[in-house]
Amino acid sequence: MLQVEGVTKRFGGLVAVNDVTMHVEAGTISGLIGPNGAGKTTLFTLISGFEPPTSGRILFEGRDITGMKPEALAAMGIARTFQIVQPFAGLSICENIAVGAYLRHGRRAEALARARAVASAVGLSAELDKPAASLTVAGRKRLELARALATEPRLLLLDEVLAGLNPSEIRDILPVIRGVCASGVTILMIEHVMQAVMSLCASVHVIANGRTIAAGTPASVVGDPKVVEAYLGHGAAERLSAEAGHG
């Protein structure tokens, strides 16, 4: 579904993404991991059209989308969430979700109906009429997910959707993410919560200092010496490998 081929992004003298190649298979959940500052969010920014790459190509379902604008890519079926969740505080939760739904549904009644359906899928039905400003961190994360889903994407880029959540909130949202994939949406997710990555992802791509350092199944990646050195540390790698063995 998604092919990133030799993509590089320079900001002046800084090389944020350096010759990255990765593929995402349709119908799967894939992970993008690495240390802070590795270039993960920059790569999302290139895929979703907010910045053009300096070099390389990006293909979506076989079509070259390199340098296309975000609104064109949204219409094609690519949506993303953002690390910093910024809902429209003066609107209700339902109205916030409907903002995304207007991409496919021009009539207000249709957009609100789509918003209600999406809210049900992410567990926000009981709070639809509340102001978005009243949401907890976990609620705001679900709202960010819902706004992206309301655009009816085929590829969803999730940027640290679990960040700031406590363990029980993480456990509650994992089935939601699996349900999104089961509904036919392919997911590429940036995530630091490695237990979630191990649980959700069929494949993982690891970057550090803008470069690919490993790719493969979660179990193979956590045992890779380069990943241990650059990102996980020995203690976390051993614990994750043990958990994968028992899984």
Q: What is the CATH number of the domain that holds 239?
A: 3.40.50.300
Q: Is residue 114 part of a domain?
A: no
How far is the CA of 148 from the CAs of 119, 184, 199, in angstroms? 11, 14, 22
Q: What would the DSSP string read from start to end of 151-168?
A: T--SEEEEESTTTT--HH
Neighbours of 5 (CB within 10 A): 16
98 in any annotated domain = no
pLDDT tens string 26-72 = 999 999 999 888 999 999 999 999 999 999 999 999 999 999 999 99
Residue 67, in any domain of the structure: yes
What is the domain range of residue 23?
2-85+154-246
224, part of any domain: yes
The answer to whether residues 158 and 190 touch, using CB atoms and an 8 Å cutoff, is yes
Residue 53 tokens read as 């790459």
The reply to whether 110 falls in a domain is no
pTM of the model: 0.91
Segment 105-134, tens digit of pLDDT? 999 999 999 999 999 999 999 989 999 999
